[in-house]
A and B are shown apart, each in its own frame.
Chain A
Amino acid sequence: AAGVIQSPRHLIKEKRETATLKCYPIPRHDTVYWYQQGPGQDPQFLISFYEKMQSDKGSIPDRFSAQQFSDYHSELNMSSLELGDSALYFCASSFRTVSYEQYFGPGTRLTVT
């Protein structure tokens, strides 16, 4: 079965640079979620989109923005990167009209130097 696809899998950036992470949800899923997991931490919810509209917002810094496109893929844009942004970034998708279960991608490991 098709899973959530994330790209790139690894990304190294310097402080103050920008980064763009991409997520391709499971086909026919209508909701995309972004999470950040710091070292030794639990995943923290950042933002979600339902049918291409922002649905909910968690602890997403103002330096970050995201959107969902007409083909349902989503991008997380991160600007003015800081050392503390180094983390695993997960995208998840769900078919929320059917269930609350979220299916996660393999993650993008962002390292800011």
Chain B
Amino acid sequence: DQQVKQNSPSLSVQEGRISILNCDYTNSMFDYFLWYKKYPAEGPTFLISISSIKDKNEDGRFTVFLNKSAKHLSLHIVPSQPGDSAVYFCAARDSGGGADGLTFGKGTHLIIQP
């Protein structure tokens, strides 16, 4: 049972436009969310995170929005650049349950078109 879902396996966006990557979760105990970017043959690179007590976190071109009632979060990249082409993973943590491991979605392959 996939507790973190990224329903779009791939997304194509024109350079300079906004990229929006979506993520849904089912476990109401998740209270910390992270986005990772992954290039082939490399490990996931941490991008941005958000605690469940917030609904928005911004870092440069990256903004994460959290809608707790809908159990939905999204990553906005503005403006999109060619170097943003990668697989993006949404991950969640149940920090209250003593669990350490992150639960990942299956990833969305973002392709930035020139």
Contacts and interface: CB of A to CB of B under 8 A. Distances in A.
Interface of A: 4, 6, 31, 33, 35, 41-46, 48, 50, 55-56, 58, 90, 92, 96, 99-107
16 contacts: A31-B100, A33-B101, A33-B102, A35-B101, A42-B4, A42-B107, A43-B104, A45-B101, A45-B103, A46-B101, A48-B100, A48-B101, A58-B101, A90-B43, A101-B46, A101-B49
Contact of B100 (A4, A43, A45): A45
Contacts of A41: 106
Interface in B69-102: 89, 93, 95, 98-102
B101 A101 contact: no
B45 interface: yes
Contacts of B93: 100
Interface of B: 4, 32, 34, 36, 41-46, 49, 89, 93, 95, 98-107
B33 to A, nearest CB: 10
B53 to A, nearest CB: 13
Nearest to A105: B43
Contact of A33 (B36, B98, B100, B106): B100
B86 to A, nearest CB: 14
Q: Which 4 A-B residue pairs are closest in the complex by CB-CB distance?
A: A45-B101, A104-B43, A56-B100, A42-B104
Nearest to A100: B32
Contacts of A48: 100-101
B47 to A, nearest CB: 10
